[in-house]
């Protein structure tokens, strides 16, 4: 039998979590991207080897999308766009965050909340990246006989620019 628990975070609660994310973002400035990505990959592998509550496993899969996006050479994000993702990864990798990770049952709850907040903030980036991945996957079928690397690279670049422009436009409209 499943049990549904709904938590409503007030503006004050959200400010608290965003403050913690800012702290994580500040710690990111002293570590390079590769260190954070490696730590996140290690943490994900370690967690995958354990029996996780479903609410954590679901967010872990979403976290892996963020990792993949950051490591994708075909999807280079600007520094200000990489920052929030790296901060989220750094936060989740910190075993001594708001709720220490070793607390049985709830130690990863704050990490799940943080992942959800970052996913919400980056939804346009993630949607654009998903569209880009789908385009890249089907591109060989669209180019029968024209599969030379230069043509593929040019088409990927055009599509990436279109999607990034859409992403930035949506984000700007949301901030108004």
| pLDDT tens series, the chain, 176 aa | 777 778 888 889 888 888 888 887 777 666 788 888 888 889 888 888 888 888 888 888 888 888 999 989 999 988 888 888 888 888 888 777 777 777 777 777 888 888 888 888 889 999 999 999 999 998 877 766 666 788 888 989 999 999 999 999 999 998 88
What token pair was written down for 6? 């709904």
Q: Would you list the DSSP string of 51-95?
A: ---HHHHHHHHHHHHHHHHHH-TTSPPPHHHHHHHHHHHHHHH-T
Give helix 54-71 / helix 109-121 axis angle, nearest 10°.
50
pTM comes to 0.80
């Amino acid at each position: 039998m499943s049990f549904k628990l709904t938590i409503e975070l007030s503006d004050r609660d959200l400010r608290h979590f965003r403050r913690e994310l800012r702290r994580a973002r500040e710690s990111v400035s002293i570590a390079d991207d590769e260190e954070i990505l490696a730590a996140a990959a290690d943490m994900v592998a370690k967690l995958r080897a354990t029996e996780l509550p479903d609410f954590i496993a679901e967010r872990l899969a979403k976290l892996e999308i963020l990792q993949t996006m950051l490591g994708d050479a075909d999807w280079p994000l600007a520094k200000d766009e990489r920052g929030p993702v790296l901060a989220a990864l750094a936060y989740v990798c910190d075993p001594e965050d708001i709720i220490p990770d070793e607390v049985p049952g709830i130690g990863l709850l704050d990490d799940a909340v943080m992942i959800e907040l970052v996913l919400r903030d980056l939804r346009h980036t993630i949607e654009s990246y998903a569209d880009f991945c789908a385009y890249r996957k089907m591109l060989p079928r669209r180019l029968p006989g024209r599969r030379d690397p230069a043509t593929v690279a040019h088409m990927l670049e055009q599509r990436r620019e279109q999607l990034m422009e859409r992403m930035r436009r949506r984000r700007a409209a949301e901030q108004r």
